[in-house]
Amino acid sequence: MTSATVRPPVRQPVQRHGNGIRRGQTRAGLLFTAPAVILLVVFLVVPIVMALWVSVSDWGGRGSPFSSDVNFVGLKNYGAITSGGGLAESDFGTALRNNLWYVLLVVPLQTALALLLASLVNSRLLKGRGFFRTAFYFPSVTSSVAITVLWFFLFSPAGAVNALLRIFGIQGPNWPADATGVLHGLLAAVGVQNGPGFLTGAGFLGVSWWDWLAGPSFGMLILISMAVFTTSGTFMLLFIAALQNLSGEVEEAAMMDGTSGWQRFRLVTLPQLRPTLFTVLTLGLIGTWQVFDQVYTGSKGAPGKTTLTPAFLSYQAGFINQQWGQAAAIAFILFAIIVALTLFQRFVLRERGVSKRRMRRNGFITGADGAYRAADRSIATAETGGTDLTGSSRGDRR
Amino acid sequence: MQRRIPRTRIRRTVAAMAATAGVFALTACGSGFNDPQASGGASGSAGALSSSDQPLTVLIGSSGDAETAAVKSAVADWSSSSGTKATVQAASDLNQQLSQGFASGKPADVFYLGADTFANYAKQGSLLAYGDQLKNKDDYYPSLVTNFTYDGKFTCAPKDFSTLALEINTKMWDAAGLTDADVPTTWDQLKSVAQKLTTPKVAGLVTSNEYQRLGAFMVEAGGNLMNDTSTKATADSAANKQALTYVQDGLKSGWWKFTTDVGAGWGGEAFGKGQAAMTIEGNWITGAMKSDYPDVDYKVVPLPAGPAGKGTLQFTNCWGIAADSPNQAAALKLVEQLTSSDDQLAFAKAFGPMPSVQSAADGWKKIYPDYSAFIDSADFAKGVPTAAGNGDVVTDLNSKLGSLKTADIDSLLGTAQKNLSALQG
């Protein structure tokens, strides 16, 4: 209690509770958030903690993972899928390889397509915008199982896609059965059948570097095209919402500055869409790393394990092979990958201030309050034909 | 300052609440799980069966309505004669539902189990090893009993089984000028008739590109992926190499094609659509032909003999009983009834499976005289590997068999050998 004298008087409990109108707010707040918090804990936190425990235990799938005969085995399960040279390791490596190619293709494609569709249906010139919006969004609300079945039907060796290719004189591959990686296929077309020794000799996670570079298989292309088709509609919706929020004045101002349509899109619209772009890329990244239902209903990893994904591998390891520890370990590694990539993406897309050099070049100087203002008002005034746009707009804002 | 103090406090209290709720939830979950030790699961130990008046749940992985109805009626019959209530549930994903049951400590009492996955469950102690207590245990085909023996214990009663045989499209057979005397009995004859049957549009023989079909040729050459008791990997044997070389040779010369090459989902589809003059499938093909391709005339003959004599693969399921079942005694009685000669013949009539007991073989032949090749093949059939974890290895092998035409057989079998050997460790 000797230290009590040092304590600042503000920390006295009497002062915290004693201010009239706010009394009891804390308790009420907690009460109102309790249902949501409890639901989150029971259905999210507890299962995650259980899964984390399973991933470091020897639980075999019978009874509670917390019962006394389940032992802590450290990182053994993680070790089995990341080292040791066994089938578990090479399966995990293959699954990561497949999913990496899937992400690399799906995320940029679906984002670009969504943005394109959103710009199209957002333009005032288009007639029947409502129809197109519905049409583009439709695949997103259709059952993914139904679309998977349909997609595999389209890509069957005698299906519509190959019939279409035949019109152009191209003999299409046997899509669902062709395990050849696209890049390997291209290399084989120019006569390179086997990779150089430094690629085939060494590898990572039981998969040689040459195989890491195989590219998605033709079977995987089915899933990739399907993902782009179904999800770009959802993300189009996000982009439309963002586009409609943009103020027309900025666009008009850019027009007055004599920008071309493409310049306006690239330099004016796109930077303003940055938050939405981040959302779309993050959602896309998370969704593509967790791809499961298309594999489960469509290909089950075939052809030649080239559509095996970590999420499906985790399901298989658990429910089919009863290797629950390994299944949970795969899930947590996947989780780590997603978090790491999201953080990386956040870093890349962070809000960057325009560099001082660039600001100066554009005729701005730092004011006393740290904000930039036009260095030479007369230039701006002259350019806008006598009306002080910069000045008045700034005035409005304050 | 004023605003910051309550906020930290709220945060702290929320964290505390979350932690308390978490503990509550954990204890709640903990009590939800039956402790397997406490609930008297006599896992593996013979003799002490649990017994109570609790109703039984039967979980089946059904092939369709006919099978579900047949099992339901058989179980209902047993229920009314024994006085124990029992309900049948058709699973949509059997392995998943079984796993959930075992993990929660409240599994179905009696359920289907595949030969290739049963060891995974036996290893975790979820199964009651009741085989030796069956009254009719000597009636089962010995090779099926071997299939369901884990760790030296006859674990579960074989439900039924299937073997692979050769199906021939009789129209194409006659058109090629072949007669009954030409039915192939050796590999060379198979090759020569298949070549005769091959036209630009039809392949002589179409099979799926998996061990579950090509393995029959391994058996005919005297090999298999593992020994009969699935205790030793024999994948890289010379016999297996000989078998795959024969298949590879057929693929290269074009009289043998894989289903994926002709765009069919399985052998029966290629056969029914007339893309194949012959295929190799089990007795499940008869039902599919009847419902999907009723106009195709075909006959079923045993697979030709290889260098080591006759051989084929057999597939089987068993009736598992849960170690955590509260009424194992009644479950055992139910299984004895369901595997009896009479019940199995009723199933055979309803949806065609071959009885797992030898005493019913003649009865089956009477019902299906045209398909006797399947049940005759039981004499020389060998099972697929049953060691725990074999599923991954076979899947891995199958993924490589897809490109068998150009594959290096030695490295393919070598990988399988390495992976199967790792299962023993």
User: Rounded to whole angstroms, how far apart are CA atoms B416 and B412?
Assistant: 7
Do B339 and B229 lie in one domain? The reply is: no
Tens digit of pLDDT for each residue in A132-191? 888 888 888 888 888 888 888 898 887 889 889 989 988 888 888 788 888 888 888 888
ipTM: 0.77
Residue B6 has pLDDT above 70, yes or no: no
Do B326 and B413 lie in one domain? The reply is: no
pLDDT band at B63 (very low <50, low <70, confident <90, very high): confident
- B chain contacts of residue A179, beta-carbon cutoff 8 Å: 399, 402-403
What is the per-residue burial (b if ≥16 Cβ within 10 Å, else e) of A65-98? Answer: bbbeebeeeeeebbebbbeeebbbbbbbbbbbbb
Continuous segment of H or E residues that includes residue A396: helix A389-397
φ, ψ of residue A359 to 5 degrees: the values are -60, -45
Do B414 and B272 lie in one domain? The reply is: yes
In this structure, is residue B46 part of a structural domain?
no
Q: Cβ separation of B18 and A67 shorter than 8 Å? A: no
Determine what percent of chain B is predicted with pLDDT higher than 90: 54
What's the CATH number where B130 sits? 3.40.190.10
- A chain contacts of residue B225, beta-carbon cutoff 8 Å: none
User: Rounded to whole angstroms, how far apart are CA atoms A228 and A226?
Assistant: 5
pLDDT band at A64 (very low <50, low <70, confident <90, very high): confident
pLDDT band at B307 (very low <50, low <70, confident <90, very high): very high
Domains along chain A with CATH numbers: 98-307 (1.10.3720.10), 357-393 (no CATH)
Tens digit of pLDDT for each residue in B212-260? 999 999 999 999 999 888 888 999 999 999 999 999 999 999 999 998 8
pLDDT score recorded for residue A189: 83
Tens digit of pLDDT for each residue in A331-353? 999 999 999 988 988 888 887 76
Residue A111 has pLDDT above 60, yes or no: yes
Do B179 and B278 lie in one domain? The reply is: yes
Do B84 and B130 lie in one domain? The reply is: yes
pLDDT score recorded for residue B425: 53
- The shortest CB-CB distance from B13 to any of A22, A30, A42 is to A30
> What is the mean pLDDT of the segment spanning A91-107?
93
Do B320 and B346 lie in one domain? The reply is: yes
Q: Cβ separation of A45 and B18 shorter than 8 Å? A: yes
Q: Cβ separation of A304 and B389 shorter than 8 Å? A: no
Q: Cβ separation of A88 and B126 shorter than 8 Å? A: no
Do B213 and B282 lie in one domain? The reply is: yes
Do B372 and B396 lie in one domain? The reply is: no
Q: What is the DSSP string of A35-101?
A: HHHHHHIIIIIHHHHHHHHHHTB---SSS-TTSTT--B-TTHHHHHHHSSSSHHHHHHHHHHHHHHH
Beta-carbon-side half-sphere exposure of residue A297 (alpha carbons within 13 Å): 16
- A chain contacts of residue B34, beta-carbon cutoff 8 Å: 63
Name which of B48-52, B227-231, B306-310, B415-419 the model is least confident about.
B48-52
pLDDT score recorded for residue A374: 54
Q: Which domain holds residue B285?
A: 165-302+389-424
User: Rounded to whole angstroms, how far apart are CA atoms B254 and B195?
Assistant: 8
> What is the mean pLDDT of the segment spanning B130-138?
89
Closest chain A residue to the Cα of B398, Cα to Cα: A304
Residue B305 distance to chain A (closest CA, Å): 30
Q: Which of A221, A232, A216, A220 is nearest to A109 (CA)?
A: A232
In this structure, is residue B175 part of a structural domain?
yes
In this structure, is residue B60 part of a structural domain?
yes
In this structure, is residue B27 part of a structural domain?
no
Q: How many residues does chain A have?
A: 398
- A chain contacts of residue B122, beta-carbon cutoff 8 Å: none
Do B292 and B398 lie in one domain? The reply is: yes
Do B280 and B405 lie in one domain? The reply is: yes
Structural tokens at position B378: 């039981």
In this structure, is residue B2 part of a structural domain?
no
Question: What total number of domains does chain B contain?
Answer: 2
B151 DSSP β-pair partners? none
In this structure, is residue B6 part of a structural domain?
no
Most trustworthy range by pLDDT among A178-192, A375-389, B348-362:
B348-362
Q: Cβ separation of A301 and B123 shorter than 8 Å? A: no
Residue A86 distance to chain B (closest CA, Å): 7
Structural tokens at position A162: 């190959």
pLDDT band at B334 (very low <50, low <70, confident <90, very high): very high
User: Rounded to whole angstroms, how far apart are CA atoms A64 and B29?
Assistant: 9
- A chain contacts of residue B105, beta-carbon cutoff 8 Å: 62-64
Do B172 and B243 lie in one domain? The reply is: yes
pLDDT score recorded for residue A359: 66
| Residues A284 and A228: beta-carbon distance below 8 Å | no
Closest chain A residue to the Cα of B425, Cα to Cα: A86
pLDDT score recorded for residue A371: 58
User: Rounded to whole angstroms, how far apart are CA atoms B142 and B151?
Assistant: 16
In this structure, is residue B47 part of a structural domain?
no
Q: Does B165 or A24 have the greater pLDDT score? A: B165
pLDDT score recorded for residue A141: 85
Looking at every residue in chain A, the average pLDDT score rounds to 82
Token pair 């399901």 is at which residue?
Answer: A315
pLDDT score recorded for residue B218: 95
Token pair 């150089």 is at which residue?
Answer: A196
User: Rounded to whole angstroms, how far apart are CA atoms B222 and B216?
Assistant: 10
pLDDT band at A20 (very low <50, low <70, confident <90, very high): low
Bridge-based pairing state of the strands A372-374 and A364-366: antiparallel
The whole-angstrom distance between residue A369's C-alpha and the CA centroid of its chain comes to 38
pLDDT score recorded for residue A382: 42
Q: Cβ separation of B5 and A25 shorter than 8 Å? A: no
Continuous segment of H or E residues that includes residue A154: helix A144-154
- The shortest CB-CB distance from B391 to any of A34, A176, A321 is to A321
Give the angle subtended at the CA of A20 by the CAs of A15 and A22, to the nearest 5°: 90
- Name the E strands within chain A: 203-204, 207-208, 364-366, 372-374
Do B125 and B272 lie in one domain? The reply is: no
In this structure, is residue B68 part of a structural domain?
yes
